Structure 1
Amino acid sequence: MTALTEFERLEAQGSWRETPEARLREVIVSVGEATLTLSDPKSERPLSHWSLPAVIRLNPGKQPAVYSPNPDGPDETLEIDDPLMIEAIERVQRAIASRRAHPGRLRGGLTLLAALLMAAAAVVWLPDALTRHAARIAPPAQAHAIGKAILADITRSTGAVCERSSGRAVLDWISPKLIADEAEIHVVPAPVNGARRLPGQVYVLGNDMLLTAPGPEAAAGHLIAAQMAVPDRVLLLDALEYAGTGAVLQLLTLGTLPQDALRGYGEQLLRRPAPAPQDERLLEAFERKGISSTPYARSLDPTGTSVMELIEADPFRDAPPPQPLLNDQQWLALQQICAG
């Protein structure tokens, strides 16, 4: 099917269920010449191949689109909410149906259709596919450099990162315990609406979370929530979409973004509401880390009305955690990280 070769590099995220009883699993959906390939996003190992002519949509007109490769019984299903991928599948299937309905169509008509689809792919889908590809293959060092560039842009509106040595030592000590070995936590003088996760395990915290709380638990809660709310690849993809196709091409060829590619992105990011994970997942994380969820909940809503589940289901509501997050000397040093 030479008319379908323009879709060979189109990719999107999807949720795949191998059997009706199986749990949804995140996959990368790739459009091939006449197939959909479902791959593991971590290992890139193919999990399933579907024939495009046999794929049916189970919920026409609804979002997310749900597909199955078996019209007689949807054993496998795939959910896609990417509008470009949904449109691509429908265009391909219309092309297949048209070819079947008119087997005597002139070769010139097919050639024209292929040319139009290829032009549409180049204009509409190719930039998106390049950006997604760049986000997917970016090594940790590259993602970290992009995160630091966003942090630098954020400091244009918040003020420079606070680097008092005693407070910096506390952050370096608590980062691997609270988040991950490679995580970096930075404090800025102005509020950032809690904490923000940037690509490459870079985190930014407003100094207000340290000065207005009775202890470190509220700030720790915001950092944990920031870590769990959005995967690193999604953060990177959002930043690259802002940078634009030209910047992404330079990243793919030279390994770095243009100097001003992310100018203004940090300020735009701070204007958005801070994303948060589901309360159930967050409470499990608090319990694993030995942190009370109530200080975090009260920092979101001092009245407790909108965060009652986080307060009532606090894993340490009836007894304190086995060990304090920081001792008094460490907490004082962290509170003074922006002092001089």
Structure 2
Amino acid sequence: MTSSTALTEFQRLEAQGSWRERPDARLREVIVSVGEATLTMMDPKSDRPLSHWSLPAVTRLNPGRLPALYTPSSTAPDETVEIEDPLMIEAIERVQRAIAAHRATPGRLRGVVTGAAVLVMLAGLVFWLPDALIRHAARIAPPAQARNVGLSVLADLERSAGAVCRRTSGQQVLDWMSPDLIGADALIQVVPGPLNGARRLPGDLYVLGSDLLTTAPGPEAAAGHLIAARLAVEDKAVTLDALRHAGLMASLRLMTLGTLPRDAMEGLGEAMLAGPVPRPDLAALPPAFAPLGLSTEPYARSIDPTGAAVLPLIEADPIRAGVEPADLLTDAQWLALQQICAG
């Protein structure tokens, strides 16, 4: 209710009152007039205003008693007026309540806005905090912990691609070539099923499908896929993807206990095989192949035998540019690697 509405039934309301300008002054008969926000004391003979009071500040000094005694300010009640008219008393109180309610509205609005802001912040925490914690877990995971995450992913991948090939002579070749090819701490594993390339897993773990070994004339195509897998995605990124799959509770357990639940990566291997192989920008490959004396053409044609889709990669072959080709493996090493899944 606004003060205007409150005064609907009190329009042009006036009443007699006894006004004292200061405590030592004599009482003076006045006409009290109530407005939307003011209380006016007027000389009854001349209608000259003697005093104007702000209704929101008017204070009743004797609640419940008559005549009602009002002052324009509770902090300095020097000026007073006595009113006996019940209708005038009711009008003053009605308008004061209406003004107070109107002033409270912005406060309620601020409360609503503040409450809404708090709810938005809480909702943001609900949706943002879990992923923030998972990202933190991926960022701080030490190499050994990241490797364990990668082994968990590999264990799930084995369900779809077959168990990791364990023939010792073939694994020795992989361990021998991996430091120069992709990094001193890298571990390369081979599974029987086709992977359409190489996959990088957390902890600098790489997985090859045996098809790259059994169908290629030499190790260059497999080596190219391993380099491409290293360039396509960073280790922290694949660790983050794996932990997002595992979820918040598994990530918290990894941070606090250093281990993952047994089934944390269930379904991730199948999802990886169903998705495309991450590949780097083709322009980044020749500079990475050149220091190793590795041709980009075997890698390119393993992706597209016609060469049409990878023609820039073939044309930028470091060997064509005059780089001396290196012998990655001896014939015996290559044969051992091809037979890693045999027996």
Q: Secondary structure at the match of 2:310?
A: helix
Cα deviations by residue, 1:248-303 (Å, 9 ceiling, x for unpaired): 22222222221101011011111111111111111110112210000000100000
Is residue 2:148 matched to residue 1:122?
no
Number of matched residues?
238
- Map 1:178-197 to 2 at 5 A: 178-197=181-200
* Map of 2:281 onto structure 1: 278
* Map of 2:147 onto structure 1: 144
Unaligned segments of structure 1, at least 5 residues:
1-102
- Map 1:44-63 to 2 at 5 A: none
Matched-pair identity in %: 63
Distance in 1 separating the partners of 2:299 and 2:107: 68
**Correspondent of 1:333 among 323, 332, 336:** 336
Is residue 2:240 matched to residue 1:237?
yes
The structural deviation recorded for 1:320 is: 6.8
Q: What is the one-letter code of the residue matched to 1:112?
A: G
- Map 1:156-235 to 2 at 5 A: 156-235=159-238
* Map of 2:89 onto structure 1: none
Q: Secondary structure at the match of 1:197?
A: strand
Pick which of 103-112 and 157-166 moved more.
103-112
* Map of 2:294 onto structure 1: 291
Distance in 2 separating the partners of 1:207 and 1:215: 13
Distance in 1 separating the partners of 2:203 and 2:132: 21
User: Structure 1-normalised TM-score?
Assistant: 0.67
* Map of 2:327 onto structure 1: 324
Residues 243, 261 of structure 1: 8 Å contact kept: yes
Q: Secondary structure at the match of 1:115?
A: helix
The structural deviation recorded for 1:324 is: 0.6
Q: Secondary structure at the match of 1:338?
A: coil
Residues 292, 321 of structure 1: 8 Å contact kept: no
Q: What is the one-letter code of the residue matched to 2:291?
A: R
Alignment RMSD: 1.7
Is residue 2:277 matched to residue 1:259?
no
Distance in 2 separating the partners of 1:335 and 1:149: 25
Pick which of 138-147 and 312-321 moved more.
312-321
Distance in 2 separating the partners of 1:293 and 1:320: 12
Cα deviations by residue, 1:65-101 (Å, 9 ceiling, x for unpaired): xxxxxxxxxxxxxxxxxxxxxxxxxxxxxxxxxxxxx
Distance in 2 separating the partners of 1:289 and 1:114: 58
Distance in 2 separating the partners of 1:121 and 1:188: 42
Q: What is the one-letter code of the residue matched to 1:234?
A: A
Residues 191, 208 of structure 2: 8 Å contact kept: yes
* Map of 2:157 onto structure 1: 154
Distance in 1 separating the partners of 2:301 and 2:198: 15
Residues 175, 184 of structure 1: 8 Å contact kept: yes
Residues 157, 267 of structure 1: 8 Å contact kept: yes
Q: Secondary structure at the match of 1:155?
A: helix
Q: In structure 2, do the counterparts of structure 1 residues 199 and 162 end up closer, same or farther at CA, with 3 Å as the change threshold?
A: same
Q: Secondary structure at the match of 1:112?
A: helix
The structural deviation recorded for 1:208 is: 0.5
The structural deviation recorded for 1:207 is: 0.4
Residues 293, 325 of structure 2: 8 Å contact kept: yes
Larger Rg: 2
User: Structure 2-normalised TM-score?
Assistant: 0.66
The structural deviation recorded for 1:171 is: 0.5
Distance in 2 separating the partners of 1:300 and 1:211: 15
Residues 185, 204 of structure 1: 8 Å contact kept: yes
Distance in 1 separating the partners of 2:341 and 2:257: 37
Q: Secondary structure at the match of 2:320?
A: coil
Distance in 2 separating the partners of 1:240 and 1:180: 23
The structural deviation recorded for 1:172 is: 0.6
* Map of 1:112 onto structure 2: 115
Q: Secondary structure at the match of 1:306?
A: coil
The structural deviation recorded for 1:122 is: 2.7
Distance in 1 separating the partners of 2:161 and 2:139: 30
Distance in 2 separating the partners of 1:223 and 1:172: 13
